[in-house]
Amino acid sequence: MKIHEFQARQLLATAGIAVPPGTMVTSVEEAHTAARSLFSLGSTQVVVKAQVHAGGRGKAGFVRVVNSIDEAVAASNFMLGNRMITPQTPPEGLVVGRLLVADAVAIAHEYYIAVLVDRAQRTNTLIASTEGGVEIEAVAESRPDAIIRVPLDPILGLQPFQARSVALALGFKGKAIAQAVSMVTKLCALQRSSDASLVEVNPLVLTPPTATHPDGQVMAIDAKFAFDDNALFRHADIEAMHDPAEENPAELRAQAFGLSYVALDGNIGCLVNGAGLAMSTMDIIKLHGGEPANFLDVGGSATEEAVTEAFRIILSDGRVQGVLVNIFGGIMQCDRIARAIVGAAQTIGFRVPLVVRLEGTNVEEARRILDAARVNIPTMQSATDLDDAAAKIVSSVCANA
């Protein structure tokens, strides 16, 4: 699960990490109020940022630094209700409904810091770099030495000496060292306690020296979180941050039925049990010259109702011109799938070609059910194996195209 920037700032602030003052707004009036408050509290510049789960905001004009309340209002007027289109959004873009209006702090230096699950090390790893504000992948490629990696003890987490060495390696001086140590420590603790698979602060900044902060202030400007969905059961507060408007409606519907569904661009709908087999089914469709319309794993314990819903989701995608069912029953019993196919044929109807390949638990019973219903499902063909299934669905879809 992902959250918005303004929510990430809330989590950081609650954990005691310094973030510049700011407010989330949903209307131009609120943006006006928020900007006026920031300028009156001494901000010289304010930043208006669209709150959507996609990168590339700056280039698309959806992050603006403004010098006055009027400019803040103009930026809000442009962004709110507008569609942001970037390489990371769907082609039709994402409608902006919320903005973050925040103090644009002066920046002396930008850093990158992240804590993430490191599967190769089987633990969490802290990654930091003096090259902040840019894409870390690019830094990793061009200057691997500019990246600090600290694997964290799986039981103890970050140790104080590690926090100090990271702060020093990033070049912090004077009183800023203690600030950086505190920041790194709190970020690592937050990643673990919130079950985040990734927390990324980019940029982390050091502000220029002032009378009150002669060594500058360490602050988190933008942050990204990805949470482990499997741990949400113990984080009601984080789950409440979930924004359904950011998700594909079909994927949300699938989730509600315990199905794992990812929409893709092709025209052959797939209904498969098991993630590996579902991916392989997509792969073999492609090898036969077709294009999968989705990844759909019904899982092992889906009810007949859930499987019927899976058909409904697949068939409601207007691009789908054929459906391939590939089930290797283990926990999933093939007869349940067969009954769902018969049920879906009655309630939804298969107007497009349907190829069914069943193997495994209760397959004989499933074949009897399908054979008995065959006259009512004229577009259905049976397949003997994976290759046969892919060949049949691809040729049927091509013949109809």
Partner 1 sequence: MLLTPMSILIDSSTRVLCQGITGAAGAFHTKGCLEYGTRMVGGTTPGKGGQRDANGLPIFETVHEAVKATGATATMIFVPPPFAGDAIIEAADAGVGVICAITEGIPVQDMIRVRATLDKYPNSTLIGPNCPGVITPGRKIGQNKYEGGCKIGIMPGYIHMHRVDAPSRKAVGIISRSGTLTYEAVWQCSARGIGQTTCVGIGGDPIKGLDFTDLLELFTADPDTSAIVMIGEIGGNAEVDGGRWLQQNSKKPVVAFIAGRTAPPGRRMGHAGAIVGGSADTAQSKIDALRECGVLVAESPADMGAFAARALGLN
Residues that bind partner 1 (CB under 8 A): 117, 119-120, 122-124, 137, 153-155, 192, 195, 197, 228-231, 233-234, 260, 262, 264, 272-287, 292, 295, 297, 300-301, 328-331, 359-361, 385-387, 390
Nearest distance in Å: CB 245, partner 1: 19
Cβ count within 10 A of residue 153: 11
Q: Which of 5, 111, 131, 200 is catalytic?
A: 200
CA 311 to chain centre: 25
Closest to partner 1 by CB, 221 vs 285, is: 285
Give the integer Cα–Cα distance in Å for 344 and 306: 11
Closest to partner 1 by CB, 39 vs 257, is: 257
Q: Which of 5, 111, 112, 131 is catalytic?
A: 112
Cβ count within 10 A of residue 351: 10
271's tokens: 């209904």
Number of DSSP helices (H) and strands (E) in the chain, helices first? 13, 18
Q: Which among 312, 331, 355, 315 is positioned nearest to 274, based on CA atoms?
A: 331
Q: Biggest alpha carbon distance in the chain?
A: 85
Nearest distance in Å: CB 335, partner 1: 14
Give the integer Cα–Cα distance in Å for 38 and 45: 9
Nearest distance in Å: CB 226, partner 1: 10
Place of tokens 């290797």: 328
Q: Contact 344/370 with Cβ under 8 angstroms?
A: no
Closest to partner 1 by CB, 20 vs 299, is: 299
**Three-class SS state of 273:** coil
Give the integer Cα–Cα distance in Å for 56 and 36: 27
Closest to partner 1 by CB, 60 vs 284, is: 284
Give the integer Cα–Cα distance in Å for 88 and 224: 15
Is 200 known to be catalytic? yes
Beta strands in 135-265 (DSSP E): 147-151, 196-206, 218-220, 223-227, 260-263
Give the integer Cα–Cα distance in Å for 160 and 398: 63
Nearest distance in Å: CB 336, partner 1: 14
Q: How far is CA 223 from CA 3, 71, 202, 263, 265, in A?
A: 10, 25, 6, 27, 30
Nearest distance in Å: CB 167, partner 1: 24
Nearest distance in Å: CB 274, partner 1: 3
Nearest distance in Å: CB 266, partner 1: 9
The residues, any chain, with a CB within 8 Å of residue 400's CB and separated by 6 or more, are 321, 322, 352, 353
Residue numbers annotated as active site: 112, 200
